[in-house]
Amino acid sequence: MENEKRDFVTTIAQLTDDATIYNQLDTTKNGLSAQAVEKRQVKYGKNILREAKGEPLWLKFVKNFTSLMAILLWVAGLISFVADLTELGIAIWAVNIINGCFSFWQEYRAGKATAALKDMLPAYTRVIRENEEKKILAQELVPGDIVKLEEGDDIPADIRLIHATDVRVDQSTLTGEVNPVSKDARAIKDVTGNHADLRNTIFSGTSMLKGNAIGIVVVTGMSTDFGKIADLTQNVKEDISPLQKELNVLTRQLSALAITIGIAFFLLATFVVHYPVVKAFVFGLGMIVAFIPEGLLPTVTLSLAGAVQRMAQKNALVKKLASVETLGSASVICSDKTGTLTQNQMTVNHLWTTKHSYTVSGEGYEPKGKILEGPKEVKAVDTPDLFELLRGALLADNAKIVAPNEHHKRYQILGDPTEACLEVAASKGGINPELERKVATRIKELPFDSDRKMMTVIEQRVTERKFDTFTKGAPNCVLKQCNSYLEDGKVKTLTAEIRQKIMAANDGYAKQGLRVLAVACQELPTQYRTEIEKATLENVEKNMIFVGLTVMFDPPRKEVRAAAKLCHKAKIKIIMVTGDYSLTAESIARNIGIVPADAAVKVITGEELKEMSDNELKQALKGEIVFARMAPEQKYRVVTNLQQMGEVVAVTGDGVNDAPALKKADIGVAMGITGTDVAKEAADMILTDDNFASIVTAIKEGRGVYSNIRKFLLYILNSNMPEAVPSVLFLLSGGLIPLPLTIMQILSIDLGTDMLPALGLGKEYAEDSVMEKPPRSLKQHLINRKLLLKAFCWYGLWASIISTGAYFFSNYFSGYIFPHLANSGTAYAQATTVTLGAIIFCQIAAVLNCRYEKESMFQRYFWNNSLIFAGIIFEVVLFLALTYVPILQAVFGTAPLEYRDWLFLICIPFPLILIDEIRKLFVRKRLI
Ligand code: ATP
């Protein structure tokens, strides 16, 4: 069956005339009917590939129990069992199992969430069905569908080409061959070589790097060549991210620290307090377990997954969890202009010919408005140059205007806004687009590309009108290829003076931030009329007649100004890298606040960049800079140089040629709306609204994640202090001060009450202050001196004083005073329970205090994190259970408390919160 399908593809490739191909695939030039599509969907199924299987679930599950930390806990538990300390062993193992299950659950949910994100970006394709062009989901394609493809599209099925203009495809997914392969629509007589060598067939899973084409779907889904190898491309190993690496190092360091402390405590207990070996051993073991940061890994996953989901709601889809952390350290954003900083909602508002200049009224894509010369309305038919300008612009345009219908109340466009607005302008000038398109049939297109910055169409003349090639593009590029110009309907030689006049008009508009496109035309030299395939870029786009300028306004996006301000505050540099003209680029950059309005800014064009050495470029990159008239390939060089300067670079892109820069950047950002499939594949993040502001929001989330992991560490490390201090007192007093906290009680904090609130910190919202500091250096570690000081010498210190005080307080009320403290019986159990309670209540304050680094906890997000409050309730309930459930009392050595103890405990959080609020106030006022 499979071979049959392969042969079918080859058979279709060998057919010489289109009619037979249509016949064989039971379709027509106008596409399939709705009924035929329905029938074929039933017969052939959806056009999808079977999901490649990843690592089996059981293996992922097991991995959560074999990390270094987990192994340490297994061993600790085992030793406890061997030493006949069953309860301790059970406690340690239980925690290990809970921790492992929880990690797995978090990872599983995060995986599901990222998979769901992929579904938010369905693949579309353009088809002709029932004689109408439609955009459908690629999975709905059936054999016989007529598909239209253009540069940057992913090829959705195995397709026999019917028309092809300059098509180059990337077939590396099929053949491993990285060089682009040319394809055309000619029949193949002798089939040799591989299936992928069929010159007139393009294959699913590959992508179109250049040109445009129309083809017929031959086979879909698993019957395609890619379908057959899809199963082989499984188990792609993901690299481990810098954060994961750091966490591995961190757990290793903390585990080593825990073991060192454990051994030290064991030795001190044996030799200073003269504990029996087994008791000293339990003591040491307890310390080890207490110091291991059990919840760390699930918290990180929870935090990353939460951020990814929040980003998705804010129009930024991250493909890998790990990209979130890189986003947080981004120090430079290289951003496109059109569509990202501006709305890409073009409206032609001026027209210019060498003798006249016009204004155009009306807004949006509704063809309602006038063309005015001064106050006087003009019609194109009365003004030959204006007519040719509008007609040329219209014919060299692939977009379509869709009138309001039952789905949309307003005028919509299909295609590029830069092109669509030209049709609108033509209509305003009294030209009938439908009619003009009928009287001139397009026979060839030399498609637009961002390198030469123009495009040309060749039309078959049906009427007396003279010109048959129409070119539109960047004025400086078009003008270079013109040697004459149109004035009052006559072709005149283009002098240096006229060139200057044209460029002066162009610059005048550009300085106002307007986008200018020139239109040129010419008669197609006769030799190419018969051999149209010889009409190539090199011989058509030269010696052209300049007709005029169309000037369009693209309003800046409203959110960009605030986002740019935020970036400046966060010391993130924004570099505009655009294909547009230097003056337009500079004006917009200033207008939207990307560069300060009055600052000196260096505008470097693509041409100038070519002449610059890397050193010169690096020097220029240190100041305010805008890149204009850039070819997408040049972005790669900019990114590379920035990276060599130690910057973490986010770069935006939408076209095929942007892919190398997107891959090279630390964060490649593709446009969801205007982006090609190729760009989206190369990127790490996709903006569903193409909006620059969404990148900034994502960076804030990224920074938030890192800060959340730190909050978590701060919280769990700080509790180690009050846990350790009582034991140190016990050791240093040579046992004179009985242990204020038993080992089982220490474990009940670390492995019980602390877990949920700590996790809650991982879910915290990114506070605004994360954008008030410079980007984190990649060399900076999660745990630094500041964090340790804050954990041990601030939060930890307060908690140690209070918990140790609580111990003496309880003893005092039970009638014991130092040095005759209770060392057994109910009074001792009560004293240790109060100490335990004091630490737990200190931790309640700590979790609330750790939520925000600088901001007061009493702010708009106070109630937003339900996990924190659930954690606090859980903490208190668990403590109540430990205190009042007899069996737990027996295991943990606790005793019921007096009402005065409760009163004391309940009061603990308030002063702690107050002190920390005062500290934060000083921090905010920059007094400390
Ligand atoms: P950005 O790179 O910021 O998105 P851009 O849209 O100007 O800006 P390109 O798409 O590379 O960048 O376009 C480069 C230039 O080519 C434009 O400034 C314009 O002069 C010209 N141009 C853009 N689109 C077309 C088009 N459809 N037809 C002809 N010329 C075009």
The answer to whether residues 429 and 390 touch, using CB atoms and an 8 Å cutoff, is yes
394: CA distance to ligand 1 center in Å? 16
pLDDT tens string 886-913: 999 998 999 999 999 999 999 999 999 9
764 has pLDDT over 60:
yes
pLDDT of residue 148: 92
Backbone angles phi, psi at 445, to 5 degrees: -130, 135
Q: How many Cβ atoms are within 10 Å of 377's Cβ, its own excluded? A: 13
Q: How many Cβ atoms are within 10 Å of 114's Cβ, its own excluded? A: 19
The answer to whether residues 657 and 634 touch, using CB atoms and an 8 Å cutoff, is no
532: CA distance to ligand 1 center in Å? 27
Of the candidates 147, 158, 156, which has an alpha carbon nearest to the alpha carbon of residue 212? Answer: 147
pLDDT of residue 548: 97
647 has pLDDT over 70:
yes
Scored b (16 or more CB within 10 A) or e, 678-701 reads bbbbbbbbbbbbbbbbbbbbbbbb
pLDDT, greater one: 663 or 1: 663
Pocket of ligand 1 (CB under 6 A): 336-338, 416, 418-419, 448, 450, 453-455, 472-474, 517, 578-580
Tokens for 603, please give them. Answer: 């505008």
91 has pLDDT over 70:
yes
* CA nearest ligand 1 atom 19, residue: 474
The answer to whether residues 865 and 859 touch, using CB atoms and an 8 Å cutoff, is no
Ligand 1 mutation target, pool 397, 422, 517, 627, most atoms within 8 A of CB: 517
pLDDT of residue 53: 61
In 750-865, which ranges are continuous DSSP H helix? 755-762, 785-790, 796-813, 825-850
* CA nearest ligand 1 atom 24, residue: 418
Can the peptide bond before residue 632 be classed as cis, meaning omega within 30 degrees of 0? Answer: no
Distance, CA of 700 to CA of 716 (rounded, Å): 24
pLDDT, greater one: 843 or 275: 843
597 has pLDDT over 90:
no
Separation in Å, CA 286 to CA 266, 742, 751: 10, 9, 11
114 has pLDDT over 70:
no
CA atoms within 13 A on the CB side of 570: 29
* CA nearest ligand 1 atom 29, residue: 473
- Average pLDDT of the segment spanning 99-107: 81
pLDDT of residue 912: 96
Cα angle 136, 140, 143 (rounded to 5 degrees) comes to: 110
- Residues in a beta bridge with 212: 150, 165
SS (H, E, C) 11-61: HHHHCCCHHHHHHHCCCCCCCECHHHHHHHHHHHCCCCCCCCCCCCHHHHH
Tokens for 904, please give them. Answer: 């004391």
- Residue 341 CA: which ligand 1 atom is closest? 3
210: CA distance to ligand 1 center in Å? 16
pLDDT of residue 777: 80
How would residue 348 be classed by pLDDT, with cut points 50, 70 and 90?
A: very high
pLDDT, greater one: 452 or 113: 452
Ranges of each domain in the chain? 2-52+116-234, 293-310+699-924, 316-342+558-690, 347-553
- Average pLDDT of the segment spanning 746-757: 84
Distance, CA of 538 to CA of 494 (rounded, Å): 20
Rounded to the nearest integer, the mean pLDDT of the chain is: 87
Distance, CA of 413 to CA of 342 (rounded, Å): 17
517: CA distance to ligand 1 center in Å? 9
Which CATH superfamily includes the segment(s) 347-553?
A: Calcium-transporting ATPase, cytoplasmic domain N (3.40.1110.10)
54: CA distance to ligand 1 center in Å? 41
pLDDT of residue 233: 44
Burial of 318 by CB count in 10 Å (0-12 exposed, 13-18 middle, 19+ buried)?
buried
The answer to whether residues 697 and 313 touch, using CB atoms and an 8 Å cutoff, is no
- Residue 585 CA: which ligand 1 atom is closest? 3
pLDDT tens string 201-214: 999 888 888 888 99
Q: How many Cβ atoms are within 10 Å of 524's Cβ, its own excluded? A: 20
* CA nearest ligand 1 atom 25, residue: 473
For residue 577, give the H/E element and its range.
strand 573-577
pLDDT of residue 54: 65
pTM for the full predicted model: 0.80
pLDDT of residue 190: 75
Among residues of the chain, what percentage have pLDDT more than 90?
Answer: 44
pLDDT of residue 746: 87
pLDDT of residue 230: 61
* CA nearest ligand 1 atom 7, residue: 580
The answer to whether residues 126 and 133 touch, using CB atoms and an 8 Å cutoff, is yes
User: DSSP E strands: which ranges in 110-157?
Assistant: 124-129, 132-137, 146-150
* CA nearest ligand 1 atom 12, residue: 579
Of the candidates 164, 829, 639, which has an alpha carbon nearest to the alpha carbon of residue 444? Answer: 164
pLDDT of residue 667: 92
The answer to whether residues 628 and 578 touch, using CB atoms and an 8 Å cutoff, is yes
Cα R_g (the chain), whole angstroms? 35
Of the candidates 35, 712, 67, 647, which has an alpha carbon nearest to the alpha carbon of residue 333? Answer: 647
Q: Which long-range contacts (CB under 8 A, 24 or more apart) does 130-139 make?
A: 130/30, 130/31, 130/32, 130/33, 130/34, 131/30, 131/31, 132/31, 133/400, 133/414, 135/414, 138/47, 139/46, 139/47, 139/48
- Average pLDDT of the segment spanning 263-279: 87
- Average pLDDT of the segment spanning 434-447: 86
pLDDT of residue 530: 76
Its sign, for the CA torsion 142, 148, 152, 158, is positive
Q: How many Cβ atoms are within 10 Å of 406's Cβ, its own excluded? A: 5
pLDDT tens string 226-245: 877 765 444 334 555 667 77
Of the candidates 727, 751, 748, which has an alpha carbon nearest to the alpha carbon of residue 739? Answer: 727
pLDDT of residue 234: 41
Q: Just list the catalytic residues.
A: 336
451: CA distance to ligand 1 center in Å? 9
* CA nearest ligand 1 atom 17, residue: 580
- Average pLDDT of the segment spanning 285-300: 77
351: CA distance to ligand 1 center in Å? 18
pLDDT tens string 769-828: 889 889 988 777 888 888 989 999 999 999 999 999 999 989 999 888 887 888 888 999
212: CA distance to ligand 1 center in Å? 18
Task: Note the CATH architecture for domain 2-52+116-234.
Answer: Distorted Sandwich (2.70)
pLDDT, greater one: 914 or 410: 914
Ligand 1 mutation target, pool 150, 338, 629, most atoms within 8 A of CB: 338
2 has pLDDT over 70:
no
Give the CA dihedral 129, 131, 134, 140, nearest 10 degrees: 0
797: CA distance to ligand 1 center in Å? 61
pLDDT, greater one: 349 or 854: 349
* CA nearest ligand 1 atom 14, residue: 579
CATH number, domain 316-342+558-690: 3.40.50.1000
- Average pLDDT of the segment spanning 670-695: 88
* CA nearest ligand 1 atom 18, residue: 580
How would residue 928 be classed by pLDDT, with cut points 50, 70 and 90?
A: low
Ligand 1 mutation target, pool 450, 471, 633, 676, most atoms within 8 A of CB: 450
398: CA distance to ligand 1 center in Å? 14
Instruction: State CA 362 to chain mean position distance.
Output: 36
Ligand 1 mutation target, pool 397, 448, 476, most atoms within 8 A of CB: 448
Question: Between β-strands 602-605 and 347-352, what pairing exists: parallel, antiparallel or unpaired?
Answer: unpaired
Domain 293-310+699-924 in CATH 1.20.1110.10? The answer is yes
pLDDT of residue 820: 81
* CA nearest ligand 1 atom 30, residue: 473
